[in-house]
Structure 1
Amino acid sequence: MDWKSFMEGSKDLSLLALVLRAIILYIALIIATRMMGHRQVGILTGHNYLVAAGIVSLAAIRMINPESSLTFGLVIVFVYAFVNIFLSYLDIKWPKAIDRKPAILIYDGKIDEKNLHQMGLDHEWIITTLTEKGISNLKDVFLAMLEADGTVYVSV
């Protein structure tokens, strides 16, 4: 096995070469994740989720397919990381332009149909969410908001 075949891919790569490529990509994913900062899954913004899913998908293809280029895989991982860092910067500068803002779903016991529809939610979902929070009567809810991170804040 030569270096060019290892980095650029070849159908004749050994099992050891595939394992080493997977380890290299895994380390690159860890480095890219550290560069992007610590985020919990529950508070991922839309662009963070897409970037994470994209990085993992592209890295997996590079790990499995011996003919794919490891060099291109590494470039893709770090380009995705830098795009994510840039979008996170924009999210801090102009949060409403990049990320969702909180939406009022219920106010004074009444469902805001427009916001519920815009968020792609239905009555069953909001009733189930309230039930999970121990609220059985819609009239008891003063305010229910869908936060940007997907959690629901309820005030009775």
Structure 2
Amino acid sequence: MADAWKVLLLGGSAMPLWGFAVRAALLYWMMILVTRWMGKRQVGILTGHNYLVASGIVAISASRMVNPEHGLLEAFVILPVFAGLNIIQSYVDIKWPKFIGLEPIVLIENGQIQKSSLLQGLISIDELLGQMRLQGVHLMSQVAYATLEPNGKISVTKKNEYQPIQRNAFQLPEKNVFLPHFLIYDGTVYLENLKKLGLDMTWLKNKLLEKGIPEPQGVFVAMLEDDGTIYISLG
């Protein structure tokens, strides 16, 4: 038994099946810990070094899970070091973005494609057009600016005449905007949300009856949207 634990921690030629399960669990928890230590920015903003660190963490962990000859303790040292270096690199990114090369690159300026910027960002015209289409922009004549962001994505700004109409441009009354409020979930009425909205069960039951639904217990999801629409799904 002692030899099995020694192989599990330090590596060896053979390891029992339960050892692989223990290794997988320990490495899983270690990856969760280092990912949380790195913070939301490291996970949500995929810069070059974040990608390398994520790939390295996965590769190191995977090799320890399937290869008994690789020591587990080594991974417990390497993974925090990787995470720490990634955090330091992020601080450098913030303090000296020009030095790291994380400044955005303007690919289209005043409606004109900047050939030198395409070469600098190693972006082909087909890739630029594809990224624009993914953002719902299909006509080059509508674009004022397109920028290659530090995370590798392309942001597009339309010309003024193609921008969405704003309510204040026509002096329309302000419209309250809020996230949808759950009224019912899996047959349970959210009484706190009704109270917050100044509503009551009588109002809710009347709205359900308008949809031909006699009782809230038969509703899977009901939400009140910001325009007053009630979304109902019976599941």
Q: Same fold (TM over 0.5)?
A: yes
Distance 1:67 1:134 in 2: 51
Distance 2:137 2:46 in 1: 27
Alignment partner of 2:63 out of 51, 61, 64? 61
Match of 2:139 in 1: 137
Most deviating of 21-30 and 92-101:
92-101
For residue 51 of structure 1, give the secondary structure of its aligned residue in structure 2: helix
Cα deviation, residue 63, structure 1 = 0.8
TM-score (norm 2): 0.62
Match of 2:128 in 1: 126
Q: Is the 8 A contact 1:46 1:99 kept in 2?
A: no
| 1:49 matches 2:51 | yes
Structure 2 CA distance for partners of 1:80 and 1:40, relative to 1, 3 Å:
closer
**Going by fraction, where is helix more abundant, 1 or 2?**
1
Match of 1:72 in 2: 74
In the alignment, structure 2 segments of 5+ residues that lack a partner are 159-235
Aligned residues: 156
In the alignment, structure 1 segments of 5+ residues that lack a partner are none
Q: Is the 8 A contact 1:87 1:98 kept in 2?
A: no
Structure 1 vs Structure 2 CA RMSD: 1.7
Q: Percent identity among equivalent residues?
A: 43
**Going by fraction, where is strand more abundant, 1 or 2?**
2
| 1:100 matches 2:90 | no
For residue 48 of structure 1, give the secondary structure of its aligned residue in structure 2: helix
Cα deviation, residue 144, structure 1 = 0.9
Q: Deviations over 1:78-116 (max 9, x none)?
A: 111111111122222222323521110111222111111
Match of 2:40 in 1: 38
Q: Is the 8 A contact 1:45 1:99 kept in 2?
A: no
Alignment partner of 1:18 out of 17, 20, 24? 20
For residue 40 of structure 2, give the secondary structure of its aligned residue in structure 1: coil
Cα deviation, residue 71, structure 1 = 0.8
Distance 2:115 2:75 in 1: 45
Cα deviation, residue 29, structure 1 = 0.8
Most deviating of 145-154 and 15-24:
145-154
Considering Cα pairs closer than 8 Å and 6+ residues apart, tell me whether 1 or 2 has the greater RCO.
1
For residue 41 of structure 2, give the secondary structure of its aligned residue in structure 1: coil
Match of 2:114 in 1: 112
TM-score (norm 1): 0.90
Structure of greater Rg: 2
Q: Is the 8 A contact 1:42 1:150 kept in 2?
A: no
Match of 2:150 in 1: 148
Distance 1:78 1:42 in 2: 19
